[in-house]
Amino acid sequence: MAVAKFAEIKDFMLTQIEIGAWPEHSRVPSENELAEQFAVSRMTARRALQELTEQGILYRTQGVGSFVAALKSQSSLLEIRNIADEIHSRGHSYRAELLQLTELPCPATVAAALGLKHNERVFFSLIVHFEDRQPLQLEARYVNPRQVPDYMAQDFSAITPHLYLSQVAPLTEAEHTVEAILPDSFTCQHLQLKKPEPCLRLTRRTFSRDGAVSLAYLTSPGSRYRLGGHLNFAPAGATRSS
């Protein structure tokens, strides 16, 4: 079955964004330019641009053009960062300890988040991230096998799940929430907490253009970790939908 021309244009534009050819806030081709490049009508090119704008992939500035939107999380104050890069940027050493990498029946709440069926197979990883010699974060992550079939074959002592997923299923959307919790004994053990202390738990769901990719629970001691960011006021329409 032939792919509709507007879908072909969308696929081309998404690929350019994913491979980094068109970075955040860069101008993309106009309706006229796309129409000429793909030998289609302006209406067809306009539909591709409009759908990408409605999905939050692009934003439009009246009289100027369409631009690549920044990948934003549910909270505009927070950016998606690779924890290894975050630690290295502070001049500290990073290492990971893989506690579990398995396939299991998908819990109902996870199934709803990832678009899977209850008890359908789902991949699960459990990792402790260390800054120097101290555990900084306990990561429990569920991964959609439909999106990332080779997840179980990776060495997550050498590459973080975030970095691997960004390579094989580039992010187009993310949402997360942050809450304060008191950790259970299992979390205390692996974060090397002598007694329960307030922790930050970030629940993050990520998407590629083909759907939900992963659901992660990231837990860090409040005494060792903080969340922050710099807020840029992007043009209207630049925030991705959650």
Domain boundaries, the chain: 5-68, 83-221
Q: Tell me if the domain spanning 5-68 has CATH number 1.10.10.10.
A: yes
The CATH architecture to which 83-221 belongs is: 3-Layer(aba) Sandwich (3.40)
- Report the amino acid identity of residue 143: V
pLDDT tens over the chain, length 242 residues = 456 899 999 989 988 887 889 988 899 999 999 999 999 999 999 999 998 888 778 888 878 899 988 764 333 334 677 899 888 877 889 999 999 999 999 999 899 999 999 999 999 999 999 999 999 999 999 999 999 999 999 999 999 999 999 999 988 888 888 899 999 999 999 999 999 999 999 999 999 888 899 999 999 998 887 665 544 444 444 443 33
pTM value is 0.68
How far apart are alpha carbons 216 and 108 in whole angstroms?
Answer: 15
